Amino acid sequence: MSRCKYLSKHAPTMHPKKYTRRSALRIIGLTSLACLANPLNAFASSSPMHSPAAGGHTDGKGDIERRLIGQGLIDVQTADPLLLVDLKYARSNNFMGENVYGDLRKCYLHPEPALMLKKAHARLHERNPDLKLLLLDGVRPRSVQQRMWEMVKNTPMQPYVANPVRGSMHNYGAAVDVTIARADGTPLDMGTGVDHFGILAQPREEQRFLREGKLSPEQVMNRKILRNAMLEAGFQPLAIEWWHFNAFDKGTTRRRYAIIE
């Protein structure tokens, strides 16, 4: 008798009905029922293609994001999923010309500023249902602030970037850079782009530029729509940047929070 025929004849009889899903898992060496839904998961840990790099994580969050969560900050879209987010320093078309946020794509703040932002969004939507807030920056680690400072110190742009020694309100997770966009994500015309380091971006000079024709009535109105929504939620504007708003005054922020490194 051949070996194959012997094995076939003497193989033990299987009784499928006697096996539960959990006992079947033990037989094939899997550890969870979830593996049955997606068998490839069972081999993820042993396959080089699926193995996380040394020090990596399988929850989809990068190191910066995990540090922010560990320090009590939250993704603003968990407070209001309808907010739009496009972090300007997570792409290369910013004043530094490079992505300095790595794989971070979500906007993080401390919980109270995040809830204030939700309120501002609601106020905007009440008056302008077709418009949304578009977040361009939230918390900014001081390491990024240092890189910005090195680029602008001793230049005409220096007044627009806080010295990292004291820190920007962004470094505390209590400030946002924000504009308004239509439902499709197209930003409204504010007269300048974000991070326009020049006097035309300064709210305190808007009426003069309106008289001189350097800003149009529509551009000034768009800025006012943004400012009104943020002010009604308790944010404080910055006199030299139409896009920047602090959740609290500097003293309150520094008493409540620590700088995010």
DSSP states of 62-102: -HHHHHHHHTT-EEHHHH-TT-EE--GGGSS-STTSS--ST
Cα(105)–Cα(207) distance, integer angstroms: 36
For strands 84-85 and 131-137, give the pairing: parallel
- pLDDT for 96 equals 85
Confidence (pLDDT) at 156 = 87
pLDDT of residue 101: 92
Percent of the chain with pLDDT over 70: 77
pLDDT value of position 1: 52
Residue showing tokens 């024709």: 213
Helix (H, G, I), strand (E, B) or coil at 150: helix
* pLDDT < 50 stretches in the chain: 2-56
Q: Given this model, what pLDDT does residue 27 score?
A: 33
So what's the pLDDT on residue 248? 98
Stated pTM of the model: 0.76
Task: Please say whether the dihedral angle defined by the alpha carbons of residues 151, 153, 157 and 159, taken in this order, is positive or negative.
Answer: positive
**What HEC string does 209-226 produce?**
HHHHCCCCHHHHHHHHHH
Tokens (6 digits) for 164? 């990292």
CB 238 within 8 A of CB 244: yes
Give residue-wise pLDDT tens across range 52-89: 333 445 566 788 899 999 999 999 999 999 999 999 99
